[in-house]
Amino acid sequence: MDKIKSFRDLQVWQKAVELATKIYQITEAFPKTEQYGLTSQMRRAAVSIASNIAEGHRRTNPDFARYLTIALGSVAELETQIEIAKRIDYLTGPTYTDSLNDLGILGRQLTVLHQRVVGQRLAPSNQPPDTSD
């Protein structure tokens, strides 16, 4: 994997920020009675995805893998919240479908990145063994 200088260079982080922005826009239309309920939960889960990617990138590979796992957990959390919002008629039609599609793409990208980070840590070195004694 090429060395990424900043988390901002990661496409998955960019997608996560886009999704968080969309979730803020979507939840703006939720009833005000949900301000401290589902609205807050969905916003925090969406922000958590991008935040964990960024924070993990600043750490060592084993830590980065752990932060990516946390981000994947937030993806599942947000998927559940989107489903609840649909079932109580806060989300309908294309907004629901588009949200799940965006989240699915993001989840797959995170999974691939996680596998690469873990693989980097576990893969044997490509260097030949040192036999100079």
pLDDT digits (tens, 9 = 90+) for 26-72: 999 999 999 999 999 999 999 999 999 999 998 888 899 999 999 99
Q: Is the pLDDT of residue 133 over 70?
A: no
Q: What is the pTM of this model?
A: 0.84
Q: What is the DSSP code string of 30-93?
A: S-GGGTTTHHHHHHHHHHHHHHHHHHHHTS-HHHHHHHHHHHHHHHHHHHHHHHHHHHTTSS-H
CATH number for the domain whose boundaries are 7-122: 1.20.1440.60
